[in-house]
Amino acid sequence: MMKILLERAAVMAGLEQVLLSATNTQTAALALYCSLGFESFGTEPRALNINGEFIDER
């Protein structure tokens, strides 16, 4: 599904980049994004608060 979405995005006029994010705990999502050519450019510390626990997002 992600490959199809990226193929569609590639032909959209004016679209220059696609940004994705996932928490550090979502290892499967991070691995998928990496396999599709995405690169991590930083971490947003304490991006989410889930049940009182802060989780970083990248």
Asked if residue 36 is part of any domain, the answer here is yes
What's the DSSP call for residue 23?
B
**Domain ranges, residue 40:** 20-58
C-alpha separations of 54 from 6, 16, 24 in Å = 30, 32, 11
Spatial contact of 56 and 43, defined as CB atoms under 8 Å apart: yes
Asked if residue 26 is part of any domain, the answer here is yes
Asked if residue 30 is part of any domain, the answer here is yes
Asked if residue 13 is part of any domain, the answer here is no
Asked if residue 44 is part of any domain, the answer here is yes
Asked if residue 38 is part of any domain, the answer here is yes
Q: So what's the pLDDT on residue 27?
A: 95
Q: Total structural domains in the chain?
A: 1
Residues 53 and 15: their CA atoms lie apart, in Å, by: 35
Instruction: Decide: residue 38, CB within 10 A, 0-12 exposed, 13-18 middle, 19+ buried.
Output: middle
Model confidence over 5-57: pLDDT tens digits?
999 999 999 999 999 999 999 999 999 999 999 999 999 999 999 999 999 99
Asked if residue 52 is part of any domain, the answer here is yes
